[in-house]
Amino acid sequence: MATNRGNRARQTEEVDNTINYVQCDGLAAMKIVKHCHEESSNMDLAQGALLGLVVDKCLEITNCFPFPKSDDDSMDEEMYQLTMMRRLRRVNVDHFHVGWYQSSNVGNFLSMALLESQYHYQTSIEESVVVIYDTQKSGRGFLCLKAYRLTPQAIQMYKDGDFTPEALRNMKVGYESLFVEIPIVIKNSPLTNIMMSELCEMMPEEQGHNFLDLGTASVLENHMRCLIERVDELYQESIRYNKYQQVVFKQETEKHRALTKQAAENALRVAKGESPIPEEEVLKQFRPLPVPPRLNATITSGQINTYSQHISQFCSQSLAKLFITQSLQNAKESKEVAK
Protein backbone atom coordinates (compact mmCIF):
# COMPACT_ATOMS: atom_id res chain seq x y z
CA MET A 1 0.00 0.00 0.00
CA ALA A 2 2.80 2.42 0.89
CA THR A 3 4.56 1.62 -2.40
CA ASN A 4 1.42 2.43 -4.39
CA ARG A 5 1.02 5.73 -2.57
CA GLY A 6 4.64 6.60 -3.28
CA ASN A 7 4.25 5.80 -6.98
CA ARG A 8 1.07 7.88 -7.12
CA ALA A 9 2.87 10.83 -5.47
CA ARG A 10 5.74 10.57 -7.95
CA GLN A 11 3.31 10.48 -10.88
CA THR A 12 1.57 13.58 -9.55
CA GLU A 13 4.89 15.40 -9.29
CA GLU A 14 5.75 14.48 -12.90
CA VAL A 15 2.50 15.91 -14.27
CA ASP A 16 2.54 19.09 -12.15
CA ASN A 17 4.44 21.59 -14.32
CA THR A 18 3.03 24.82 -12.94
CA ILE A 19 2.56 27.87 -15.16
CA ASN A 20 2.65 31.09 -13.17
CA TYR A 21 0.76 33.16 -15.73
CA VAL A 22 -0.34 33.25 -19.37
CA GLN A 23 0.67 36.09 -21.67
CA CYS A 24 -1.60 36.50 -24.68
CA ASP A 25 -0.78 38.73 -27.62
CA GLY A 26 -3.41 41.22 -28.68
CA LEU A 27 -3.64 39.63 -32.14
CA ALA A 28 -4.40 36.19 -30.69
CA ALA A 29 -6.96 37.68 -28.27
CA MET A 30 -8.75 39.50 -31.10
CA LYS A 31 -8.85 36.31 -33.19
CA ILE A 32 -10.40 34.41 -30.26
CA VAL A 33 -12.97 37.16 -29.66
CA LYS A 34 -13.87 37.38 -33.36
CA HIS A 35 -14.30 33.63 -33.78
CA CYS A 36 -16.35 33.19 -30.59
CA HIS A 37 -18.74 36.03 -31.45
CA GLU A 38 -19.21 34.71 -34.98
CA GLU A 39 -20.16 31.27 -33.70
CA SER A 40 -22.32 32.65 -30.86
CA SER A 41 -24.60 34.29 -33.43
CA ASN A 42 -25.44 30.76 -34.63
CA MET A 43 -25.66 29.40 -31.06
CA ASP A 44 -22.67 27.15 -31.80
CA LEU A 45 -19.65 26.34 -29.67
CA ALA A 46 -16.41 27.92 -30.90
CA GLN A 47 -13.19 25.98 -30.39
CA GLY A 48 -9.67 26.42 -31.66
CA ALA A 49 -5.99 25.75 -31.11
CA LEU A 50 -3.55 28.02 -29.27
CA LEU A 51 -0.02 28.46 -30.55
CA GLY A 52 2.98 29.92 -28.77
CA LEU A 53 5.89 28.92 -26.54
CA VAL A 54 6.90 28.57 -22.91
CA VAL A 55 9.46 30.96 -21.43
CA ASP A 56 10.45 30.05 -17.86
CA LYS A 57 7.13 29.95 -15.99
CA CYS A 58 5.25 32.05 -18.55
CA LEU A 59 3.12 30.56 -21.30
CA GLU A 60 3.08 32.97 -24.23
CA ILE A 61 0.16 32.70 -26.68
CA THR A 62 1.16 34.39 -29.93
CA ASN A 63 -1.34 32.99 -32.43
CA CYS A 64 -4.37 30.73 -32.81
CA PHE A 65 -6.62 29.19 -35.43
CA PRO A 66 -10.17 27.75 -35.23
CA PHE A 67 -11.04 24.10 -35.45
CA PRO A 68 -12.95 23.12 -38.61
CA LYS A 69 -16.70 22.65 -38.42
CA SER A 70 -17.78 19.98 -40.82
CA ASP A 71 -20.46 17.30 -40.74
CA ASP A 72 -18.32 15.15 -43.01
CA ASP A 73 -16.99 12.15 -41.10
CA SER A 74 -14.07 11.87 -43.49
CA MET A 75 -12.66 15.17 -42.14
CA ASP A 76 -9.53 14.41 -40.11
CA GLU A 77 -9.22 17.16 -37.51
CA GLU A 78 -5.79 15.99 -36.35
CA MET A 79 -4.41 16.13 -39.89
CA TYR A 80 -5.99 19.57 -40.34
CA GLN A 81 -4.22 20.89 -37.24
CA LEU A 82 -0.88 19.43 -38.32
CA THR A 83 -1.26 20.98 -41.76
CA MET A 84 -2.10 24.39 -40.27
CA MET A 85 0.92 24.31 -37.94
CA ARG A 86 3.18 23.21 -40.80
CA ARG A 87 2.04 26.09 -42.99
CA LEU A 88 2.40 28.60 -40.16
CA ARG A 89 5.93 27.39 -39.66
CA ARG A 90 6.71 28.14 -43.30
CA VAL A 91 5.80 31.81 -42.81
CA ASN A 92 7.90 32.07 -39.63
CA VAL A 93 4.97 32.06 -37.17
CA ASP A 94 5.04 30.28 -33.81
CA HIS A 95 3.65 26.84 -34.49
CA PHE A 96 4.04 25.06 -31.16
CA HIS A 97 0.75 23.77 -29.79
CA VAL A 98 0.23 25.11 -26.23
CA GLY A 99 -3.47 24.48 -25.64
CA TRP A 100 -6.91 25.30 -26.95
CA TYR A 101 -9.73 27.78 -26.47
CA GLN A 102 -13.50 27.51 -26.20
CA SER A 103 -16.40 29.92 -26.08
CA SER A 104 -18.96 29.93 -23.30
CA ASN A 105 -22.29 31.58 -22.72
CA VAL A 106 -23.07 32.88 -19.23
CA GLY A 107 -20.12 30.90 -17.83
CA ASN A 108 -21.49 27.42 -18.62
CA PHE A 109 -18.20 25.90 -19.75
CA LEU A 110 -17.51 23.27 -17.05
CA SER A 111 -18.54 19.88 -18.38
CA MET A 112 -17.41 16.30 -18.78
CA ALA A 113 -16.29 17.00 -22.37
CA LEU A 114 -14.09 19.89 -21.22
CA LEU A 115 -12.54 17.74 -18.50
CA GLU A 116 -11.80 14.93 -20.93
CA SER A 117 -10.35 17.23 -23.60
CA GLN A 118 -8.11 19.09 -21.17
CA TYR A 119 -6.93 15.78 -19.70
CA HIS A 120 -5.77 14.58 -23.12
CA TYR A 121 -4.13 17.95 -23.86
CA GLN A 122 -2.37 18.19 -20.52
CA THR A 123 -1.08 14.61 -20.55
CA SER A 124 0.38 15.06 -24.04
CA ILE A 125 1.44 18.73 -23.68
CA GLU A 126 2.24 19.31 -20.02
CA GLU A 127 2.14 23.12 -20.15
CA SER A 128 -1.13 23.35 -22.10
CA VAL A 129 -4.05 25.48 -20.92
CA VAL A 130 -7.65 26.00 -21.96
CA VAL A 131 -8.76 29.59 -22.50
CA ILE A 132 -12.46 30.30 -21.94
CA TYR A 133 -14.09 33.37 -23.50
CA ASP A 134 -17.56 34.39 -22.32
CA THR A 135 -19.37 36.05 -25.22
CA GLN A 136 -22.44 37.36 -23.41
CA LYS A 137 -20.58 38.85 -20.47
CA SER A 138 -17.99 40.43 -22.77
CA GLY A 139 -20.78 41.88 -24.90
CA ARG A 140 -21.89 43.87 -21.83
CA GLY A 141 -18.52 45.56 -21.43
CA PHE A 142 -16.76 43.04 -19.15
CA LEU A 143 -13.95 41.28 -21.01
CA CYS A 144 -14.09 37.69 -19.72
CA LEU A 145 -11.00 35.80 -20.89
CA LYS A 146 -9.76 33.16 -18.43
CA ALA A 147 -7.20 30.36 -18.56
CA TYR A 148 -7.54 27.06 -16.69
CA ARG A 149 -5.48 23.94 -16.04
CA LEU A 150 -6.35 20.60 -14.48
CA THR A 151 -4.94 20.01 -11.02
CA PRO A 152 -2.64 16.99 -10.45
CA GLN A 153 -5.37 15.35 -8.33
CA ALA A 154 -7.90 15.66 -11.16
CA ILE A 155 -5.42 14.21 -13.68
CA GLN A 156 -4.69 11.24 -11.43
CA MET A 157 -8.42 10.73 -10.78
CA TYR A 158 -9.23 10.65 -14.49
CA LYS A 159 -6.25 8.39 -15.19
CA ASP A 160 -7.42 5.86 -12.57
CA GLY A 161 -11.00 6.02 -13.87
CA ASP A 162 -12.43 5.51 -10.39
CA PHE A 163 -15.10 8.11 -9.63
CA THR A 164 -16.61 6.53 -6.52
CA PRO A 165 -17.10 8.66 -3.39
CA GLU A 166 -14.38 6.74 -1.55
CA ALA A 167 -11.84 7.27 -4.34
CA LEU A 168 -12.61 10.99 -4.57
CA ARG A 169 -12.29 11.30 -0.79
CA ASN A 170 -8.96 9.45 -0.67
CA MET A 171 -7.51 11.59 -3.44
CA LYS A 172 -9.00 14.75 -1.90
CA VAL A 173 -10.72 15.74 -5.15
CA GLY A 174 -13.65 18.14 -4.95
CA TYR A 175 -15.32 20.67 -7.19
CA GLU A 176 -12.86 23.33 -6.01
CA SER A 177 -9.83 21.19 -6.94
CA LEU A 178 -10.75 20.11 -10.47
CA PHE A 179 -9.41 23.16 -12.27
CA VAL A 180 -7.02 25.90 -11.24
CA GLU A 181 -7.28 29.35 -12.82
CA ILE A 182 -4.08 30.77 -14.26
CA PRO A 183 -3.72 34.59 -14.40
CA ILE A 184 -3.83 35.85 -17.97
CA VAL A 185 -2.47 39.16 -19.27
CA ILE A 186 -2.81 40.70 -22.72
CA LYS A 187 0.33 42.25 -24.16
CA ASN A 188 0.56 44.48 -27.22
CA SER A 189 3.56 45.73 -29.13
CA PRO A 190 4.62 49.39 -28.66
CA LEU A 191 3.36 50.22 -32.16
CA THR A 192 -0.04 48.75 -31.32
CA ASN A 193 -0.21 50.80 -28.11
CA ILE A 194 0.63 53.98 -30.05
CA MET A 195 -2.09 53.23 -32.62
CA MET A 196 -4.67 52.55 -29.88
CA SER A 197 -3.79 55.84 -28.19
CA GLU A 198 -4.33 57.69 -31.46
CA LEU A 199 -7.64 55.91 -32.02
CA CYS A 200 -8.80 56.91 -28.53
CA GLU A 201 -8.09 60.55 -29.34
CA MET A 202 -9.94 60.28 -32.65
CA MET A 203 -13.02 58.67 -31.04
CA PRO A 204 -15.92 61.09 -30.47
CA GLU A 205 -16.61 61.83 -26.82
CA GLU A 206 -20.15 60.44 -26.84
CA GLN A 207 -18.93 57.07 -28.14
CA GLY A 208 -16.48 56.70 -25.29
CA HIS A 209 -19.24 56.20 -22.73
CA ASN A 210 -20.53 52.90 -24.07
CA PHE A 211 -18.82 51.08 -21.23
CA LEU A 212 -21.32 52.68 -18.84
CA ASP A 213 -24.16 50.54 -20.19
CA LEU A 214 -26.47 49.84 -17.25
CA GLY A 215 -28.63 47.23 -18.97
CA THR A 216 -27.33 44.31 -16.91
CA ALA A 217 -30.66 42.74 -16.00
CA SER A 218 -30.60 40.24 -18.88
CA VAL A 219 -27.12 38.96 -17.97
CA LEU A 220 -28.02 38.50 -14.32
CA GLU A 221 -31.30 36.86 -15.29
CA ASN A 222 -29.49 34.33 -17.51
CA HIS A 223 -26.96 33.66 -14.76
CA MET A 224 -29.71 33.03 -12.23
CA ARG A 225 -31.66 30.81 -14.63
CA CYS A 226 -28.59 28.68 -15.35
CA LEU A 227 -27.78 28.57 -11.63
CA ILE A 228 -31.27 27.26 -10.83
CA GLU A 229 -30.93 24.57 -13.52
CA ARG A 230 -27.61 23.38 -12.09
CA VAL A 231 -29.01 23.34 -8.55
CA ASP A 232 -31.88 21.16 -9.80
CA GLU A 233 -29.37 18.79 -11.44
CA LEU A 234 -27.39 18.57 -8.21
CA TYR A 235 -30.61 17.87 -6.32
CA GLN A 236 -31.44 15.01 -8.67
CA GLU A 237 -27.91 13.60 -8.21
CA SER A 238 -28.34 13.76 -4.43
CA ILE A 239 -31.69 11.93 -4.69
CA ARG A 240 -30.05 9.12 -6.69
CA TYR A 241 -27.24 8.79 -4.17
CA ASN A 242 -29.65 8.82 -1.23
CA LYS A 243 -31.64 6.01 -2.88
CA TYR A 244 -28.42 4.04 -3.29
CA GLN A 245 -27.60 4.53 0.40
CA GLN A 246 -31.11 3.38 1.39
CA VAL A 247 -30.78 0.22 -0.71
CA VAL A 248 -27.34 -0.48 0.80
CA PHE A 249 -28.71 0.02 4.33
CA LYS A 250 -31.61 -2.33 3.58
CA GLN A 251 -29.24 -4.95 2.20
CA GLU A 252 -26.94 -4.68 5.23
CA THR A 253 -29.94 -5.09 7.55
CA GLU A 254 -31.08 -8.21 5.71
CA LYS A 255 -27.55 -9.57 5.72
CA HIS A 256 -27.22 -9.01 9.46
CA ARG A 257 -30.58 -10.71 10.05
CA ALA A 258 -29.57 -13.69 7.89
CA LEU A 259 -26.22 -14.05 9.68
CA THR A 260 -27.94 -13.91 13.07
CA LYS A 261 -30.38 -16.59 11.99
CA GLN A 262 -27.58 -18.74 10.65
CA ALA A 263 -25.59 -18.36 13.88
CA ALA A 264 -28.61 -19.65 15.84
CA GLU A 265 -29.02 -22.57 13.43
CA ASN A 266 -25.31 -23.38 13.65
CA ALA A 267 -25.54 -23.46 17.46
CA LEU A 268 -28.32 -26.05 17.18
CA ARG A 269 -26.33 -28.09 14.64
CA VAL A 270 -23.28 -28.07 16.86
CA ALA A 271 -25.43 -29.20 19.81
CA LYS A 272 -26.65 -32.12 17.69
CA GLY A 273 -23.08 -32.94 16.68
CA GLU A 274 -23.48 -31.76 13.07
CA SER A 275 -21.06 -29.51 11.16
CA PRO A 276 -22.00 -25.79 11.02
CA ILE A 277 -22.90 -24.07 7.77
CA PRO A 278 -20.16 -21.61 6.65
CA GLU A 279 -21.01 -17.91 6.46
CA GLU A 280 -19.99 -17.77 2.79
CA GLU A 281 -23.21 -19.58 1.87
CA VAL A 282 -25.21 -16.67 3.27
CA LEU A 283 -22.93 -13.95 1.94
CA LYS A 284 -23.30 -15.31 -1.60
CA GLN A 285 -26.95 -14.26 -1.52
CA PHE A 286 -26.03 -10.59 -1.04
CA ARG A 287 -23.99 -9.28 -3.93
CA PRO A 288 -22.33 -5.86 -3.52
CA LEU A 289 -24.25 -3.06 -5.21
CA PRO A 290 -22.45 -0.90 -7.81
CA VAL A 291 -21.52 2.49 -6.40
CA PRO A 292 -22.88 5.38 -8.52
CA PRO A 293 -20.10 7.64 -9.88
CA ARG A 294 -19.87 11.08 -8.29
CA LEU A 295 -17.97 12.85 -11.06
CA ASN A 296 -21.10 14.40 -12.59
CA ALA A 297 -22.15 15.75 -9.19
CA THR A 298 -18.65 17.16 -8.67
CA ILE A 299 -18.71 18.90 -12.05
CA THR A 300 -22.20 20.28 -11.38
CA SER A 301 -21.02 21.63 -8.00
CA GLY A 302 -18.08 23.28 -9.72
CA GLN A 303 -20.39 24.88 -12.26
CA ILE A 304 -22.60 26.21 -9.44
CA ASN A 305 -19.52 27.67 -7.78
CA THR A 306 -18.50 29.32 -11.07
CA TYR A 307 -21.96 30.84 -11.53
CA SER A 308 -21.88 32.19 -7.98
CA GLN A 309 -18.47 33.79 -8.51
CA HIS A 310 -19.58 35.34 -11.81
CA ILE A 311 -22.76 36.74 -10.25
CA SER A 312 -20.80 38.22 -7.33
CA GLN A 313 -18.21 39.78 -9.63
CA PHE A 314 -20.80 41.04 -12.10
CA CYS A 315 -22.91 42.63 -9.36
CA SER A 316 -19.85 44.35 -7.89
CA GLN A 317 -18.91 45.80 -11.27
CA SER A 318 -22.52 46.83 -11.93
CA LEU A 319 -22.69 48.65 -8.58
CA ALA A 320 -19.48 50.46 -9.48
CA LYS A 321 -21.12 51.55 -12.74
CA LEU A 322 -24.13 52.86 -10.86
CA PHE A 323 -21.99 54.91 -8.48
CA ILE A 324 -19.97 56.32 -11.39
CA THR A 325 -23.16 57.20 -13.26
CA GLN A 326 -24.60 58.84 -10.14
CA SER A 327 -21.47 60.95 -9.73
CA LEU A 328 -21.59 62.02 -13.37
CA GLN A 329 -25.28 62.87 -13.08
CA ASN A 330 -24.68 64.93 -9.91
CA ALA A 331 -21.82 66.77 -11.59
CA LYS A 332 -24.00 67.51 -14.60
CA GLU A 333 -26.84 68.82 -12.43
CA SER A 334 -24.45 71.02 -10.43
CA LYS A 335 -23.04 72.40 -13.63
CA GLU A 336 -26.53 73.24 -14.93
CA VAL A 337 -27.48 74.94 -11.64
CA ALA A 338 -24.32 77.04 -11.73
CA LYS A 339 -25.23 78.31 -15.16
Name the more confident of 219 and 289: 289
Mind listing the pLDDT tens digit for each residue in 321-337? Answer: 777 777 777 777 777 77
Closest CA to 304 of 143, 166, 107: 107
Residue 253's Cβ-count burial label (10 Å; 0-12, 13-18, 19+) is exposed
Closest CA to 130 of 168, 157, 104: 104
pLDDT tier at 213, thresholds 50, 70, 90: low
**Cα–chain center distance at 122:** 14
Mind listing the pLDDT tens digit for each residue in 231-281? Answer: 998 888 888 888 988 988 888 888 888 888 888 888 888 887 777 777 777
pLDDT tier at 72, thresholds 50, 70, 90: low
In angstroms, the Cα distances linking 179 to 135, 142, 148, 273 are 21, 22, 6, 65
pLDDT tier at 6, thresholds 50, 70, 90: very low
Say what the alpha-carbon torsion angle 264, 266, 271, 273 is, to the nearest 10 degrees.
170
**Other Cβ atoms closer than 10 A to 52:** 25
Provide the pLDDT for residue 306: 83
Mean pLDDT computed over 311-315: 78
d(C-alpha 24, C-alpha 59), whole Å:
8
Provide the pLDDT for residue 89: 78
Q: Residue 2 above 60 pLDDT?
A: no
**Could you state, in order of their start, the residue ranges of all structural domains in the chain?**
21-69+76-196, 233-331
Contact call for residues 289 and 247 (beta carbons, < 8 A): yes
Predicted TM-score (pTM) of the model is 0.72
Mind listing the pLDDT tens digit for each residue in 78-127? Answer: 777 788 778 877 777 777 888 999 998 877 788 888 888 888 888 888 88
Amino acid at 123: T
Contact call for residues 40 and 29 (beta carbons, < 8 A): no
DSSP H stretches of helix in the chain:
2-15, 26-40, 77-90, 112-124, 135-139, 152-160, 165-170, 190-202, 217-271, 280-283, 295-338
Provide the pLDDT for residue 71: 61
Give the per-residue SS3 of 257-296.
HHHHHHHHHHHHHHHCCCCCCCCHHHHCCCCCCCCCCCHH
DSSP H stretches of helix in 16-111:
26-40, 77-90
**Going by C-beta distance under 8 Å and a sequence separation of 6 or more, which residues neighbour residue 57?**
18, 19, 20, 21
State the chain's mean pLDDT as an integer.
79
Mind listing the pLDDT tens digit for each residue in 131-186? Answer: 999 887 787 767 888 899 988 888 888 888 878 888 888 888 888 888 888 999 98
Class of the domain covering 21-69+76-196: alpha beta
Give the neighbor-by-neighbor strand order of the sheet with 184-187: 179-182, 145-150, 129-134, 97-104, 47-55, 58-66, 21-25, 184-187
Sign of CA dihedral 172, 174, 177, 178: positive
Provide the pLDDT for residue 130: 92
d(C-alpha 196, C-alpha 23), whole Å:
19
pLDDT tier at 4, thresholds 50, 70, 90: very low
Mind listing the pLDDT tens digit for each residue in 34-48? Answer: 888 888 777 678 889
Closest CA to 58 of 92, 17, 4: 17
